[in-house]
Structure 1
């Protein structure tokens, strides 16, 4: 029997990697406690607990972190319109700070010498988890098996893990026939690895777990309204049934149900990982997709133009990068998130939506904020200012452009033909 090398709290998912890591850590002489976070994934937690204890974990901890996940991570990201590389809604990134905090809380309480995770040595999650661990408990020690030569040389690929699991009688959902990896939470599910590593391979239809294929979605659309206060969703109404949802978690669950039924939220992308490599990932983010459409639409009605521009250029981009790169427990994140409530003070109102075959269509919006003036905007009536006032506005705006054109003409670079304007191509 190997010498006891200390107590480890392992971030356990019940899947292939962490089940094998649990058995391997025991082989190495560690006393292993298993930690599992309930962040809304569809999981048989009792079965996962039984599996962890069967493999050899001394204790199993399950932390229900769904409400913390929704209120502290998801909704601020909705307020800031967070998105990575214009397409990824950051579902995996958002869950990591919550899981890490819950894990460090247990590790501290149980006197664990180490924490461990099953993140690969080429992925983003190893960075996210470990930076979060150190940001919360600077003296914690981390065991990252996929960066330990004795581990990754022994398990050089997922097939070796499957074989090890079979030898240890560890049941796993992944099979040789479907070798892709998933990560699921209330916000989304991700798919990567295996056949998906070829970016030109079309994902098989049976891969998608959450959403109905848009072509198979109902022929009749679903209509809902979402009410926001301070940029946060506070009420969802299903217009056909009249059912209302007002609790933060209930709202997100309801939107997930609607979106999944109508095939909303699938993406297939190649993204740039923080460590510098490109990665193909497929994601389903049902409720988040609806919320993003509704929130951005309401901002058009209620948010001052310059506030919106500054928020888009500063908060949205910076917070998205902070989340993706794993810098949540940092001074810059605290600084950025402190600005979100101020930017959202006027984002109050209701958005009416139609959900239909993969699409979220805005059919109307309403607010009492008063930034929109129908009379000022109307092409059919005068209101707010005289049309002649615009003449001075245009003259002032044209000063810079006139000077630029005059300088080009003086240098012999002027002209009005297509070739003069666009040059040779």
Structure 2
């Protein structure tokens, strides 16, 4: 089932609401659990399914996410969690027993089943975890990115990117058009080849532990630089402070599978009131991991600048003249 439009729409929300977790992680994995349950539940109902099963490791973030969204989106489909089932754990206490069962029954074996790592990817981003990366002394360069180049591998010449926003949402990236699938893919391509992507974080998990993760979200990282400039020009100081607080609430809500809860709905409604009328065009220069704003044309609501463009320069000139006059009189 093609869920790219759904994940692209949620990625647009992650950017609009800046719903990030510890260290700026863009919550692409948590978002995909919402999309999977919401997108697959109608098909499962139509096919007469009586339960929703997943293979997430017991006690992990994703077990909690599937359980919570399952109850909210498809309450009639009980969630089966083999990793928490006593009979399953007795039969399969570890990887060795599972491997033997797969071989015995002639089932296809995923080539990555023996790896001590986990990679989870979707249109919005890729997450990396591994036994090696759990050691905080392991340099992040030990990682093999799925999409992205390291900055030193990026092209020698800068690339220009134009991002258009309307009513607080992206509508075009370098001619992509307004389809979120298209502009998300275009932003990913540009960010990945120019080394814009890395988040190496030690994050607080739902279950109360911490875990190191490395994340690729080249498109969202690129677009956030442009969105930041639009917010700076379109919101006053109080509005930006409120936006930041609400964004933190929504970042935690997406990570903890509370995106459909009333508090998250209220936070999104409040941000919609703040950013629903701002937009514009931002031109970026992207070069070896660095994204720089070249110029900005803001549309909609604009905060009036109040320094040299609005009298500050004249005040300085008058002060200088007055100071010279006092010196002369003396």
- What is the TM-score when the length of structure 2 is the normalising length? 0.87
**Judging changes above 3 Å, is the alpha-carbon distance between structure 1 residues 85 and 351 closer, same or farther for their aligned structure 2 residues?**
same
Indicate conservation of the 8 Å contact 2:7/2:124, yes or no.
Answer: no
In 2: Cα distance, 1:353 partner to 1:161 partner: 50
Residue of structure 1 aligned with 2:206, choices 268, 274, 279: 274
**Which whole-Å deviations, capped at 9, do the CAs of 1:252-307 have from their partners, x for residues lacking one?**
11001101111111122211101101112111111010111111121101112212
Q: How far apart in 2 are the matches of 1:154 and 1:230?
A: 55
In structure 1, the partner of 2:272 is: 341
TM-score, structure 1 normalization: 0.69
CA distance in structure 1 between the aligned counterparts of 2:225 and 2:52, rounded to whole angstroms: 39
The equivalent residue for 1:104 is: 41
Deviations 1:128-169 (A, max 9, x none): 111001012323211101112333344444455445444434
Larger mean CA deviation between 251-260 and 333-342 belongs to 333-342
Deviation at 1:179, TM superposition (A): 2.6
- The one-character-per-residue Cα deviations of 1:357-381 (angstroms, maximum 9, x if unpaired) are 1122222212144423364566423
Tell me the SS of whatever aligns to 2:171: strand
| Structure 2, gaps ≥5 residues long | 320-330
**Equivalent of residue 245 in structure 1, options 177, 195, 200:** 177
Distance 1:92 1:322, change over 3 A: same
Instruction: Tell me what 1:65 maps to.
Output: 3
The change in CA–CA distance for 1:218 and 1:161 in structure 2 (over 3 A counts) is farther
CA distance in 1, matches of 2:100, 2:314: 75
Q: Secondary structure at the match of 1:64?
A: coil
Give the 3 Å change call, closer, same or farther, for CA 309–377 of structure 1 in structure 2. farther
In the superposition, relative to structure 1, how do residues 361 and 165 fare at CA in structure 2: closer, same or farther (>3 Å)?
Answer: farther
Quick one: distance in 2 between partners of 1:284 and 1:215? 16
* Count, aligned residues: 315
Task: Tell me how far apart the structure 2 counterparts of residues 85 and 378 of structure 1 sit (CA, whole Å).
Answer: 41
Secondary structure in 2 matching 1:195: coil
Q: How does 1:20-419 map to 2 (within 5 A)?
A: 63-71=1-9, 73-158=10-95, 160-167=97-104, 168-174=106-112, 176=114, 178-203=115-140, 205=142, 207-237=144-174, 243-313=175-245, 315-368=246-299, 369-373=301-305, 375-376=308-309, 379-382=312-315
Deviation (angstroms), 1:324: 0.6
RMSD: 2.3
Secondary structure class of the residue paired with 2:249: helix
Distance 1:215 1:106, change over 3 A: same
Greater shift in the superposed pair: 93-102 or 326-335: 326-335
1:56 corresponds in structure 2 to none
Distance in 2 (CA, whole Å) between partners of 1:158 and 1:232 is: 45
Distance 1:163 1:183, change over 3 A: farther
- Give SS of 2:49's match: coil
Closer/same/farther in 2, CA of residues 157 and 347 from structure 1, 3 Å limit? farther
Question: Partners in 2 of 1:88 and 1:206 — Cα distance?
Answer: 17
Partner deviation per Cα, 1:211-250 (whole Å, 9 max, x = no partner): 011111111111111111122011222xxxxx55332211
C-alpha distance in 1 between matches for 2:96 and 2:118: 12
Say whether the 8 Å CA contact 1:132–1:328 is kept in structure 2.
Answer: no
Secondary structure, aligned partner of 1:299: helix
Structure 2 vs 1, CA of residues 326 and 381 (structure 1 numbering), >3 Å: closer, same or farther? same
**1: CA distance between counterparts of 2:2 and 2:244?**
33
Q: Secondary structure at the match of 2:136?
A: coil
Q: Structure 1 87/318 Cα, relative in aligned 2: closer, same or farther at 3 Å?
A: same
Structure 1 residues 262 and 205, CA gap change in structure 2 (3 angstroms): farther
1:113–1:141 Cα contact (<8 Å) kept? yes
